[in-house]
Chain A
């Protein structure tokens, strides 16, 4: 057992009594059981097939503070640049895992946009109905999060409601705790025919290393619509394991976009469970990383009912000695006839030292389905480069133009123009090109 695992076990004993929901017996027993499973299982190593290409060892061998203090010294000026400042939004801001009411803008009108901790007390029945129902038991990071997470975003959009503006959820880490191990949790419930857009970000605003183990559970009821954008542009001190689990009922449409530009090690476990007919599940993303960075996308779409559609498009550009992983699993159960599942993972290596492991995984048990998948790893097309250069566009600009066009293709489904613009700017910035090129 690693030192960190030991620390977690002893911290759990200390924390158990302090955790929110202590009066909520259901939550207490969930936590205990989750911790028991963690104790037996420990952290995964590269011998585990799911972690074959991503070695956690360097991240786990560090000492972290587990029970974190908040930080009152953070001002709006410190965080403004991590928000969509040109857009009015609801805001849920957490500092070292603790909710910051003075930096946030929550609501209980028509819909609940508040905290997980508040909801534990205020809506114990909702928590009872949904908590732990999407994220599967028995996976290390989910169990660990279930055991420890005492706060995060709680979003419940009631039937037929459309949220009037996007919600921004910001998780910040400061130097207050030294190296910090943060575990927060979102619970997002979009009721029948309701609609919401969420932009989420984890950001280290200090100089100390940190590791975040995050869980987000999303429930999209009948005909619900949701866009969920994850902006990952953290510092090289920050590592993240994101576990996002989406359960979809009939006719619902959920898009999760993951834009990974930063962080030392980022692992995205994104799972969709299509539990009703005629659902649409969209997952896409852009990864642009450089020296010392790893981004690992592990996706699962579980088609359990007939007539559903899933679309998956991940683009990656790798510079320096960066390392990308894509593992996309599509499961089509016997009952899920007429499934239409599309998956594509395209990568460009701009450096000889960069590396990508990509693996599509299709398990199809129904006989009347349309499933396509593909992955490419390549350099820039030489013919296209020559074409641009022959028109007078210098080599460096031509390469920038082509990589930019390649990446921005995956932003097609971003519905918030301000966010799309901002992501395009980050992409241009990461590739060192002039934005004049944009369409």
Chain B
């Protein structure tokens, strides 16, 4: 599904990604872990198409297409979704109209008609219930005045509505209490299928107790320095990152 080859990226002459190689197939869950500043969020931003980052080398192939040529909205239309570490507040735009616009823009890009209002509403109800969100969420301004937990739930709600092929969850667990974490993880698990893939970016093992990864990668100083199965996450939880740093010093 996604093939990243020797990806290098910088922001303002500061080289952050120094040659990433990663392959993700449909049906898989990958966890990317690593200490602060190792490039985890940069990697997710580059995949989603944030323009602040300049890709200096390498390629990202998504279902046979070169992703780096596409605008962020085109990547979304192809089925890539990024759950933001810090979702942006947008006063004056309601959650429901925002998601309606997003869904219909994706459909438009595939030459499909807009979703019927009734179908849209039913789907919104179903997905907000899945995330245990009160109905009043839908008419509130996007993320405005939302608590940290509400923002993250809202991200997963959007994911549920958009049904992406590849979902990247960037530190979705940060700022969540244990109940919210369970709700969010439950939402993600319900959306998993053999046709889609999930990348979980996190510092901690905690979220991975709920969303079980097939593969765990350790990102350090802009490179994937170690890959393994779920046991690697446990090892990191026990031993911390110092041994990784020592191995790569």
B88 touches which one: A387, A408, A436 (CB < 8 A)?
A: A387
Take A384-B90, A390-B82, A392-B102 as given contacts and tell me if A437 and B73 are in contact as well, using a CB distance cutoff of 8 Å.
no
- Shortest CB-to-CB span from A204 to chain B, Å, is 32
For residue B82, which residues in chain A have a CB less than 8 angstroms away from its CB? 390
Q: Which of B84-125 contact A (CB under 8 A)?
A: 84, 87-94, 97-103, 105-106, 109
Chain A contacts for B132, CB-based, 8 A = none
In the complex, are the beta carbons of A391 and B98 less than 8 A apart?
yes
- Asked whether A389 and B92 contact (CB < 8 A) given A397-B101, A436-B101, A439-B97, the answer is no
**With the chains together, A205 CA to B100 CA distance in Å?**
39
Q: Contact check, A395 vs B73: say whether CB atoms are below 8 A apart.
A: yes
Distance (whole angstroms) from the CB of A335 to the closest CB of chain B: 37
B72 pairs with A386, CB closer than 8 A: yes
Q: For window 351-409 of chain A, which residues contact chain B by CB distance below 8 Å?
A: 381-384, 386-395, 397-398, 401-402, 404-406, 408-409
Q: Does A87 contact B (CB under 8 A)?
A: no
Chain B: CB-nearest residue to A392: B76
Kindly state the separation between the CA atoms of A244 and B17 in the bound complex, as whole angstroms.
60
Q: In the complex, A406 Cα to B76 Cα: how many Å?
A: 25
Give chain B residues whose Cβ lies under 8 Å from the Cβ of A386.
48-51, 72
Q: Which residues of B contact A437 (CB under 8 A)?
A: 93, 97, 101
Q: Which residues of A contact B109 (CB under 8 A)?
A: 392
Q: Considering the chains assembled together, what is the distance between the CA atoms of A417 and B82 in angstroms?
A: 38
Least Cβ–Cβ distance between B229 and chain A, in angstroms = 30
Asked if A84 is an interface residue, CB under 8 A from chain B, the answer is no
> Is B73 a contact of A401 with CB atoms below 8 Å?
no
Within 8 A of B (CB), among A405-439: 405-406, 408-409, 436-439
Residues on B with beta carbons closer than 8 Å to the beta carbon of A381: 88
Q: How many chain-B residues does the 8 Å CB contact rule pick out?
A: 36
- How many residues on the A side are at the interface (Cβ–Cβ under 8 A)? 27
Which one of A382, A392, A402, A436 contacts B90 once the chains associate, using CB atoms below 8 Å?
A402
Known: A383-B88, A402-B90, A406-B92. A394 touches B97 (CB 8 A): no
Cβ A408 vs Cβ B72 within 8 A:
no
Partner of A387, one of B52, B84, B139: B84
Which residues of the partner chain A approach B94 to less than 8 Å between Cβ atoms? 439
A 149-170 binary contact with B (CB < 8 Å = 1; else 0) = 0000000000000000000000
Closest chain B CB from A244 CB (angstroms)? 27
- Give Cα A437 to B141, complex, Å: 12
Check B162 for interface membership: any CB of A closer than 8 A: yes
The one of B49, B81, B88, B105 that contacts A393, using a Cβ cutoff of 8 Å: B105
CA distance in complex: A409, B76 (Å)? 29
Q: Which of A391, A393, A405 contacts B91 (CB 8 A)?
A: A405
B217 within 8 A of A: no
Chain B CB within 10 Å — which of A386, A391, A397, A405 has the most? A391
CB distance from A237 to the nearest CB of B (A): 33
- Does A405 lie within 8 Å of B87, measured CB to CB? no
Residues of chain A having any CB pair with chain B under 8 Å: 381-384, 386-395, 397-398, 401-402, 404-406, 408-409, 436-439
* Top 7 A-B pairs, shortest CB-CB distance: A405-B92, A392-B76, A389-B72, A391-B102, A387-B88, A392-B106, A384-B88
14 contacts between A and B (CB under 8 A): A381-B88, A384-B88, A389-B76, A390-B76, A391-B99, A392-B73, A392-B77, A392-B105, A393-B102, A395-B73, A406-B92, A409-B92, A437-B101, A439-B93
19 new A-B contacts at CB < 8 Å, known A389-B49, A438-B97? A381-B88, A382-B51, A383-B88, A386-B49, A387-B84, A390-B50, A390-B72, A391-B98, A392-B73, A392-B103, A392-B105, A397-B101, A401-B101, A402-B93, A405-B90, A409-B91, A436-B100, A439-B94, A439-B139
